[in-house]
Amino acid sequence: MNYRETYEKWLKDFRDDPDTVNELLSIADDEKEIEDRFYTELSFGTAGLRGVIGAGTNRMNVYNVRRATAALAQYILKQPGQAERGVAIAYDSRRYSDVFAKQAALTLCKRGVKAFLFDALRPVPELSFTVRHLNCVAGIVITASHNPAQYNGYKVYWEDGGQMPPERADQILDLIHQTDYLDALPMDEAEAREKGLLTVIGKEVDDAYIACVKKLSISPELIREMGDEIKIVYTPLHGSGNVPVRRMLREIGFSKVYVVPEQELPNPDFPTVRVPNPEDPAALSMALELQKKLDADVVFGTDPDCDRVGIAVLDGEGKVHGLTGNQIGCLLLNYILVRRGEKGTLPQNAAAVKSIVSTEMARAIAEHHGCAMVDVLTGFKFIAEKIEQFEQTGEHTFVFGFEESCGYLSGRDVRDKDGVNASMLIAETAAWYKKQGKTLYDGLMDLYEKYGYYDAKVASFALAGKDGLLKMGHLMQALRDDPPADFAGVKVLAVRDYEAGSRKGVDGSVTPLEQPKSNVLYYELEDGGWICVRPSGTEPKVKLYVNAVTDAADKTQALLDRLAGAAVALLESKEN
């Protein structure tokens, strides 16, 4: 069936839904728009569904939510005794998030699977916590993370509280393809409640989650001393972090927390930002204005689903610095290891976990404090898997995990990046440095002086045209067939091919990689830097991660520019 036939079928199948029909009729003369909405279906991967809101197979709408949920229910029912455990469901502040969440719950109920639905918006990390806290078999959260306002999404979590692993996601995708939209019907809400299949959850779970976050405080005595001294400006960027982050900071003892009033309340249009992404310094511009008025010590913001945190700080001359995810991760890791070492609470088998594209500065910090550093593929679900593995084997005790994309976690009751947990750690770290007469920026400079000046660049290399995905495959194969000997004169010491599962050194040595197979190439350079090439899983582009380290900031930046230029030139030469 081609896209035009699918469009006509939707007009017929959903004729009793006037909103959908009217929306589709409004594009009847726009062939390009019809094609875009119906030429494919939304991809379902380990991050679930994500797309622009609207009618169509390639859009986020109630029918795609029901269909995915019906497939999830079918998958759960194939495993004896799991339906009774139920599925926890949360949602953030995006358009239709509450509608999609309730429809997902009632679609589960229709198939005899219990649903535990939050009574209002909640952050992603609380959903991860809830799956474990209520012993659910799975979890669903309706969110598009930090995407623009026209997007929404649907994430699935498994019983460990981590995002659905690839092998399970593939099986659910097969079931989605076998499910007709018209068969994915929900149960009536009153019937679901009467049969005990739908349970609304709220305060009791909030209390348990906040209690777990507060237990992760490293230095309660420091907060008692400095909690009234430090000024914090926080913005939830119109999302789900407003209530839990403020509650947590208040209850552990930070009294001077100021929220950006224009960005305080949930708003699905995110009217004050281009995109609600705390990685983007522009998203914190209003918070920085408030910081200047209050002379606040630190500014931080969380994205709509409150799993990522971004920071901006002032240096001694009043200049604003937006910290990268790598810099924040190193500051928090150093604080945890130093303070726990001083207090005697750092386990002898302590381990931190980071993604392979996150800074190697974190390894230098960890090893200095006798902490193992473990690398995983990009995606916090792989950090969650390591936490589970450590608990099962006893080989290590997890103390911190992070990704360069502003995701952090220091506990084990949540198995995804946690903006509430990270906000607490940021506030504590800022208080620790203030007690020393320093800012977070000063603390970062201290780390550079001690471990070297590490810096990174991330770029996207787009492959244009209809054959973009095919070109991407050819490009990666060309890099494998003819690997570079150097980048801008800096020799390649070894190539990690995560798809082949091996590391090949220039000396001819070949060693296996521990990580799962993935279409990623990683070049170890002689100066301690590295370059990673990672294709997108959903669109025709390749992400380039370039990292460098020297003994001075200007030298590192110059080297970084050279390496990035050489890497882009290499990709351009291989594109055709």
SS3 content of the chain, % helix, strand, coil (to 5): 40, 20, 35
Asked if residue 79 lies in contact with residue 162, where contact means CB atoms within 8 angstroms, the answer is no
Asked if residue 334 lies in contact with residue 269, where contact means CB atoms within 8 angstroms, the answer is no
Does residue 144 sit in helix, strand or coil?
coil
Task: Give the Cα separation of 239 and 235 in Å (integer).
Answer: 9
Asked if residue 278 lies in contact with residue 284, where contact means CB atoms within 8 angstroms, the answer is yes
The region, left, alpha or beta by phi > 0 then psi within -120 to 50, assigned to residue 263 is alpha
Which of 519, 533, 551, 548 has the alpha carbon at shortest distance from 457? 548
Long-range pairs of 219-225 with CB within 8 A, sequence gap ≥ 24: 219/339, 219/343, 219/428, 219/432, 220/252, 220/253, 222/428, 222/431, 222/432, 222/435, 223/252, 223/253, 223/254, 223/428, 223/431, 224/253, 225/435
Asked if residue 562 lies in contact with residue 545, where contact means CB atoms within 8 angstroms, the answer is no
Burial of 126 (0-12, 13-18, 19+ CB in 10 A): buried
Strand 309-314 and strand 320-323: the pairing is: antiparallel
Looking at the DSSP assignment, which residues form a beta bridge with residue 311?
A: 300, 323
Q: Count the neighbouring beta carbons within 10 Å of the beta carbon of residue 280.
A: 17
3-state SS of 163-216 is ECCHHHHHHHHHHHHCCCHHHCCCCCHHHHHHCCCEEEECHHHHHHHHHHHHCC
- For the beta sheet containing 138-142, the strands, ordered from the edge strand earlier in sequence to the opposite edge, are 49-52, 151-158, 138-142, 87-91, 115-118, 198-201
Asked if residue 278 lies in contact with residue 309, where contact means CB atoms within 8 angstroms, the answer is yes
Task: Give the Cα separation of 342 and 306 in Å (integer).
Answer: 31
Alpha helix stretches (DSSP H) within 26-145 = 31-38, 62-77, 97-110, 124-133
Cα 149 from chain centroid (whole Å):
17
Calculate the alpha carbon distances from 120 to 98, 266, 572 in Å.
Answer: 8, 11, 48
Asked if residue 382 lies in contact with residue 335, where contact means CB atoms within 8 angstroms, the answer is no
Task: Give the Cα separation of 518 and 203 in Å (integer).
Answer: 41
Catalytic option among 97, 145, 358, 423: 145
Residue 145 known to be catalytic? yes
Residues labelled as active-site residues: 145
